[in-house]
């Protein structure tokens, strides 16, 4: 273990989790967040909502894919597909998508949602980071029952559940190729790979298998797939039914603009209210402005003149780009900007939109709650903050829930983020 992660006086929880990570990754990173001294308590009705939203998320993904293809064919408004393919070269744009087979356009299998308030999905990411963090915190809670309580955990270890799901879908001896090059947390992916290998799931580049043995390819975004040297071989194997992509080979699932489609006049008719209702109101930002949740139109200039307390929208880069589609990049809470700074951001948004890369405005849903953590030196840390709940789904359903809490309204992984898992 790197000395910096195992300084004298480190609390036993952190020593345990650092050793667990280092044994599997040799990365010298350790656990990079704060640990809550108690699991996150879920109301039964809230838990039921997470379980039931799985079917609605998959319906959203199916409708979105089908509407996109209809738009490409001219059977739906061509502007819908343009939000994805505009400005893209042939190898990842309209021409590429028109040649995809039904198998290549199968829906995502494993994904994570981010809910800044229960029932309001701000993002759906496939397969996303955080699987390893959830598994690590679950392990800490199990290793110290005297500290966290001996109650039966609500969920099994997340990566053990993932291993069971892979076997249920691909047979007793699945072989996986998991790309780590463009993941936001490469060491986290390495941890997940090693945990899966411990559960008997073999991986290309880690086990004595040939790339042709792989029946399941995982990547954190389309670019990582498209520009990999195996891409053409994977696509052929997929078309023949010999290989499945976790993240399908399309930027459709990297682009946040699709969350605006259920609210957009050009696409709204294809989505039932039940699907629309799982997202906060989300709008494509035009040079002129966007609609507020009550239907009122507001110009960008008028929005900048609102008081900071009245600016209840996040703005997010809605297109697909490998430098912006991870790590909470290009996601901003407009209430934290001064008027001049927000005008400068809107100038950037206008320029990106003119180049075919739309941004979206999303109604800010917030869950304000007190947070408590134990620091590495054993001190209790308390503050009033905000909570984000992340749900992890397999094809079988809800597999686990992680809570992150921060002082800032934009909650994401940082050294100051308090992490717990639902029990």
Least confident of 118-122, 291-295, 339-343: 291-295
Half-sphere exposure of 131 (CA within 13 A, CB side): 33
Residue 321 in this model has a pLDDT that exceeds 90: no
* Predicted TM-score of the model (pTM): 0.94
E strands in 179-246: 202-203, 216-218, 244-245
- The single residue listed with the structure tokens 């520009």 is 227
pLDDT digits (tens, 9 = 90+) for 106-153: 999 999 999 999 999 999 999 998 999 999 999 999 999 999 876 667
Sign of CA dihedral 350, 351, 352, 355: positive
Give the confidence band of 323 by pLDDT, cuts at 50, 70, 90: low
Q: Which pLDDT belongs to residue 153?
A: 76
* Domain assignments of the chain as residue spans, ordered by start: 281-363
pLDDT at residue 328, as a whole number: 59
Q: What per-residue confidence (pLDDT) applies to 85?
A: 93
Q: Do residues 214 and 177 make contact, with C-beta atoms less than 8 angstroms apart? A: yes
Instruction: Answer whether residue 8 shows pLDDT above 70.
Output: no
Residue 87 has pLDDT above 80, yes or no: no
Q: Quick one: tokens of 106?
A: 């199968």
The residues near 102 (Cβ < 8 Å, ≥ 6 apart) are none
**Using 50, 70 and 90 to split pLDDT, how confident is the model at 91?**
confident
What pLDDT, in 10s, does the model give residues 11-63?
A: 999 999 999 999 999 988 899 999 999 999 999 999 999 999 999 999 999 99
Average confidence (pLDDT) over 239-243: 96
Q: Convert the pLDDT of each residue in 159-200 to its tens digit.
A: 999 999 999 999 999 999 999 876 667 888 999 999 999 999
Q: Of all residues in the chain, what percent carry a pLDDT higher than 90?
A: 79
Contact between 53 and 112 under an 8 Å Cβ cutoff? The reply is: no
């Amino acid at each position: 273990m790197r000395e910096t992660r195992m300084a004298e006086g480190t609390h036993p929880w952190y020593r345990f989790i650092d050793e667990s990570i280092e044994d599997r990754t040799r990365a010298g990173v350790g656990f990079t967040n704060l640990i809550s001294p108690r699991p996150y308590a879920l109301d039964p009705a809230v838990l039921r909502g997470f379980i039931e939203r799985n079917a609605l998320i998959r319906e959203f993904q199916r409708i979105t894919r089908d509407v996109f293809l209809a738009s490409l064919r001219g059977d739906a408004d061509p502007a819908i597909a343009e939000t994805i393919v505009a400005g893209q070269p042939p190898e990842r744009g309209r021409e590429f998508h028109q040649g995809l087979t039904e198998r290549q356009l199968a829906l995502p299998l494993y994904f994570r949602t981010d809910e800044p308030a229960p029932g309001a999905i701000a993002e759906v990411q496939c397969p996303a980071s955080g699987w390893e963090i959830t598994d690590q915190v679950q392990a800490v809670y199990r290793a110290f029952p005297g500290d966290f309580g001996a109650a039966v955990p609500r969920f099994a270890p997340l990566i053990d559940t993932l291993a069971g799901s892979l076997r249920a879908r691909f047979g007793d001896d699945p072989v996986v190729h998991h790309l780590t090059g463009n993941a936001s947390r490469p060491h986290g992916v390495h941890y997940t790979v090693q945990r899966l290998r411990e559960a008997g799931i073999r991986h290309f580049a880690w086990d004595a298998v040939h790339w042709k043995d792989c029946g399941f390819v995982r990547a954190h975004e389309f670019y990582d797939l498209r520009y990999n040297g195996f891409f053409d071989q994977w696509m052929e194997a997929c078309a023949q039914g010999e290989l499945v992509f976790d993240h399908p080979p399309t930027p459709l699932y990297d682009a946040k603009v699709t969350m605006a489609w259920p609210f957009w006049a050009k696409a709204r008719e294809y989505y039932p209210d039940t699907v629309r209702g799982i997202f906060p109101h989300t709008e494509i930002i035009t040079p002129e402005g966007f609609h507020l949740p009550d239907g009122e139109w507001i110009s960008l200039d008028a929005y900048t003149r609102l008081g900071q307390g009245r600016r209840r929208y996040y703005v997010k880069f809605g297109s697909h780009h490998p430098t912006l589609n991870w790590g909470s990049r290009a996601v901003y809470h407009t209430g934290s900007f001064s008027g001049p700074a927000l005008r400068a951001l809107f100038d950037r948004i206008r320029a990106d939109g003119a180049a075919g890369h739309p941004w979206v405005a999303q109604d800010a849903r917030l869950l304000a709650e007190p947070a408590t953590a134990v620091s590495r030196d054993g001190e209790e840390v308390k503050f009033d903050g905000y909570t984000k709940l992340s749900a992890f789904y397999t094809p079988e359903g809800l597999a686990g829930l992680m809570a992150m809490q921060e002082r800032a309204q934009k909650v994401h992984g940082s050294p100051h983020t308090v992490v717990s898992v639902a029990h």
